[in-house]
Amino acid sequence: MIDINLIRDPKTREKVVESEKKRFRDGLAVGKAYELDRKRIEMNFRLDQINTRINQLNREIKSGYRQGKNKEDGDLSEKVAEIKGLSDEAKGLRDDVKAVEDELNKVMKGIGNIISPSVVVSNDEKDNPIVRSYRSSRNMQKNPRPFCVLMKDFTHSVAGAKVMGHRGYYLSGKMARLAQALTRYAIDFLENKGYTYIQTPVMLRRDVMRKTSQLSDFDDQLYKVEDDLYLIATSEQSLAALYMDERMVPQEVPKKFCGQSLCFRKEAGAHGKDNAGLFRVHQFEKIEQFVICGPEESQKYHEEMIKACEEFYQSLDISYNVVGIVSGELNDAAAIKYDLEAYFPSAEKYRELVSCSNCTDYQSRELEIRYGVVKENNRKIYVHLLNGTMCAVQRALCCIVENYQTGDGIAIPDVLQGYFGGDLIELGP
């Protein structure tokens, strides 16, 4: 969530409202958060007054005892009665403070990160600006077939639906080998850039997941399992929590991770979209870039991360566009986000393979991942967290299959041939 101090200050509070309006919200949550915070401060001030008075009364009672008085004496009995009344008031106030804090946290969770000035203000993804492009020089197959047709003998979608339900699949044979080759190549690619390879948990406790996800994700995206655990939708969630409740000094950052995990998504908002094939499934593998850095360096690393993605897909010789995501399409945690959209020749469309976000200190504040050894202006400083898909394996596989189809089958990209152990997947009629 954002810094509550931004809401307390009238000047910065207006900036938060402006940012919310860029997300095409009314900004009323900001005013509600301000009122709840002020109410909390007033109640805590009254609690401090009560505690001060109780401590004073206890000292006076102890002094009276030392003078030989007992609690039945008039002035002491009045003090004891006053302590009881104040204690009852304090108990009620503490309950009220807890209720206000819970409501404040809920409201604050609904306020998005401060949007970067460079983000285009629009509520229509058609306005996403193209930042950079790459075009393959390979000769494409005429009348290309869609990936779902090319892969049908390897995905066993009917059997998958029987055992798992909608969007279930098995992946077999050389197509599974190609997926494995793509995974290994993506890991090596990031390790060669100084990233630390890490396999993450695929389940998180609810209280941890709440700090790394939007509230809407609990209904729309996340699968709950027993014991109040949730399956991750991305290893970003596990990686963000790796240093939860810790303090990192400047000498420790940046930390750059290449995360590998299975991911699970309900895709509740995607009914009717991409029903065929592996492009949008409930279970998939993903290689993730994740960077932890100081506040002054996150913009630099954000650019480095998207350029690493570009190098990866250029090495696969896949045509793509990098687009900047407009303000109304940003998730709450992101201050700025790039997508890499790769070309699918059968539909003659560019489709998202990569999302790369700078979340600044939005997630680290809730996770309490502090930065430095001192406070600035008596305020805590937090690390910045950045995430970016390197390779959503099943989705990237669909793209490679379409782009590398030939009259004989599926050609294997040059950089994958050593991992795959060949240069062609033969297809049946």
Report the binding-site residues for ATP. Answer: 265-267, 281, 352-355
H or E element: which one contains 197? strand 196-199
Whether residue 303 contacts residue 289, with contact meaning beta carbons closer than 8 Å, is answered with no
For β-strands 370-371 and 247-248, DSSP reports them as parallel
Residue positions counted in the chain: 429
Q: DSSP label at 302?
A: H
How far is 315 from 242, CA to CA, in rounded Å? 31
Annotated binding-site residues read 234-236, 265-267, 281, 288, 352-355, 389
Which residues sit in the known binding site for L-serine?
234-236, 288, 389
Q: CA of 343: how far to CAs of 150, 340, 368, 410, in Å?
A: 16, 10, 40, 16
Q: What CA–CA distance (Å, rounded) separates 288 from 313?
A: 14
Quote the CA–CA distance of 246 and 197 in Å, as a whole number: 21
Cα(331)–Cα(327) distance, integer angstroms: 9
Contacts of residue 17, Cβ cutoff 8 Å, sequence gap at least 6 = 27, 30, 31
Angle at 140 between CA 136 and CA 144, to 5 degrees: 130
CB environment 319-352: b (16+ within 10 A), e (fewer):
bbbbbbbbbbbbbbbbbbbbbbbbbbbbeeebbb
CA dist 223 to 37, 241, 395, Å? 33, 18, 20
